[in-house]
Chain A
Amino acid sequence: MQDAQPQGQTALSVRWMIVPAVLMTLAMVVFPLAYAIRLSLGGPGGASVSTENFQRLASDPVFWSALRITFGLFGMALVMQLVLGTALALLLNRYDVVRGLVRTAILSPFMLPPVVVGMVAIVVLDPGLGAANWVLQALGLPPFLWLASPQWSLLVIALIDTWQWTPFVALIVLGGLQSLPGRVYEAAEIDGAVGIRRFWHITLPLLGPTLLTAAVLRSVDLLRFFDVIYITTQGGPGNSTTTLNIYAYKLGFDFMDVGYASALMIALATIVFGSVLFFASLRRKVAW
């Protein structure tokens, strides 16, 4: 598009067309956000403004455990998805197979409702009658408690999410791979860089910006993780899968502790926003 206007023609202005979307955003996003901040600052017994809810956060052991669990899940799932997604993308790039059954297999998991994923996990990962333990036994391994295990339930949740989202990461990385300049590879070949060395010193650094994009997209979802946990473990066993989002939902809707839940959600929103800013600051480092 060019900016030049035909002579004698008044410039077409369609700025007003954004107004309905802005009104919607004001009513459903900005106002509720301000309201949530107001709720979080509500003091006890009608005191107008108080930071009591935020002080309570600092001394709440469940908050700190939920914070650790949120970051634990985020770290485990993000690393697995980026590593496996990149590996899958390299395979898909090498063998041009993204069509038919393979394409369906790649797209289906992440377009599936997370609730359905959780429901299937309940049935497949049942410690007593689930198909997963049967597979383990067939391989001569001992059965596993899966989501019922206090130590491993978080890892199992991370694995479920990795199953669902690795293909998404792979598609993004595949796009990055296909846009890499071929000249670099020709030069590398002349220099004798092949196999692992070529991947490590050439492909991976060039993929930096793409991997960062994938990391940002997954981080935003992982830090707010809710659906699959709420369906399968509801934060248990104990508090072993109680993420910040799960804890805030329970506080707000099960215990009706509205002010405190709002404070928690504002803390989480700050964490999500902060991590996106962190990734944005990395962007310059990986640019080429």
Chain B
Amino acid sequence: MNDVRHPLLVKAAFSIGSLLFLFPIIWMALSSFKSPLDVTAYPPTLIFSPTLENFGELFGRTDFLHNTWNSFVVASGSTLLGLLLATPAAFAISWHRMSWPATVSLFARMAPGTLFLLPWFIMFSNIGLSGSFTALILAHAVITMPLALWILLPYFDGMPREVVESGQIDGCGGLSILVRIVIPMIYPGIIVATIMSFVFSWNYFLFALALSGFETKTAIVASFNFIGEGTTNWGALMAAATVIAIPPLVLTFIVQRWLVAGLSFGAVKG
């Protein structure tokens, strides 16, 4: 096909398309800086005098700062737990070429979260952990552990076997080989797994909705409650949405190169 179109024109078309596509996110960010009068103006305004009122209200009058901290605790805790479990498991699976763990974790990944939720709720109540960070971190680790495992496996598989064997000759045991030789070699994989686990845990709604208590309520659950309260203050709502959206968007930005390559690669592998 003859392509007479100017490359600059193509670039401009794709940029405009991208901005239109991102409109809801841009609208969210803009609305969070609008005064109550501007945010419900009809027709909607694009030109307004920005204010920090909504963020002031969000952090000043509600527990949102505390909720955001809770989200951070749960996401960090479950990321750490997920990686602590998944890294040695990935080493064992890759080294011994086990195939059953993939099937098991695939099944766990397919099951609807609500299926586990009722038993967890009863379990955690019975052992006095209901509404605790421990319960939330354990529940979110069910998401992060298989995710980290799937991200890490190709890195372990791609490592030359001789490297591990040379460690063995030096008299290292399995654990010290993993910590001293393998992990330093596959650390890019660990970074990607850490970031993706954090984002997935941060974004996850269902488990925290049912399992978090008043003191452990995450930002996502708290903002859902804002909607339920009826007095829908759009400005504050969009401010909350913006605050919640920032960590995943920033972290995605860091691993975007990997994400694009990883998704394409996963598809090729089938």
On A, residues with C-beta under 8 Å from B are 1-2, 5-6, 9, 12-18, 20-22, 24-25, 28-29, 31-33, 35-36, 39, 95, 97-98, 101-109, 111-117, 119-124, 128-129, 131, 134, 137, 163, 168, 171-176, 178-179, 194-195, 209-210, 213-214, 220, 223-224, 226-227, 230-231, 245, 248-249, 252-253, 258, 261-262, 265-266, 268-269, 272-273, 276, 283
Contact = CB atoms under 8 A, between A and B. Distances in A.
Interface in B187-230: 199, 202-203, 205-206, 209-210, 220, 223-224, 227
B69 interface: no
Contacts of A114: 203, 205
A221 B112 CA distance: 9
Contact of B111 (A33, A119, A131, A258): A33
24 contacts: A5-B165, A9-B168, A14-B91, A17-B175, A20-B88, A28-B142, A32-B119, A97-B11, A104-B18, A109-B21, A112-B25, A112-B245, A119-B227, A119-B238, A120-B241, A122-B227, A122-B237, A123-B31, A134-B43, A171-B259, A213-B266, A245-B112, A252-B114, A269-B110
B143 to A, nearest CB: 10
B59 to A, nearest CB: 17
A258 B116 contact: no
Given A18-B88, A21-B86, A95-B14, A123 B244 contact: no
A248 B40 CA distance: 35
Contacts of B149: 21
Contacts of A276: 110
A109 B20 CA distance: 13
Given A18-B93, A32-B120, A175 B18 contact: no
A195 B232 CA distance: 51
Nearest to A12: B168
Given A101-B15, A128-B42, 10 more contacts: A14-B92, A18-B93, A21-B145, A22-B89, A36-B118, A104-B18, A109-B21, A112-B245, A253-B121, A253-B210
A222 B236 CA distance: 30
A102 B14 contact: yes
A173 B264 CA distance: 7
B151 interface: no
Per CB-CB distance, the 4 closest pairs between chain A and chain B, nearest first, are A175-B264, A105-B18, A17-B88, A32-B119
A87 B103 CA distance: 32
A12 to B, nearest CB: 5
Contacts of B205: 113-115, 226-227, 230-231
B249 interface: yes
Given A104-B256, A174-B264, A175-B263, A36 B42 contact: no
Nearest to B104: A25
Contacts of A175: 263-268
Interface string B75-93: 0000000001110110111
Nearest to B253: A104
Contact of A17 (B92, B120, B145, B240): B92
Given A18-B93, A129-B40, A105 B22 contact: yes
B270 A209 contact: yes
Contacts of A134: 42-44
Contacts of A131: 27, 44
B136 interface: no
A119 B89 contact: no
A29 B116 contact: yes
Given A104-B253, A116-B241, A131-B27, A12 B164 contact: yes
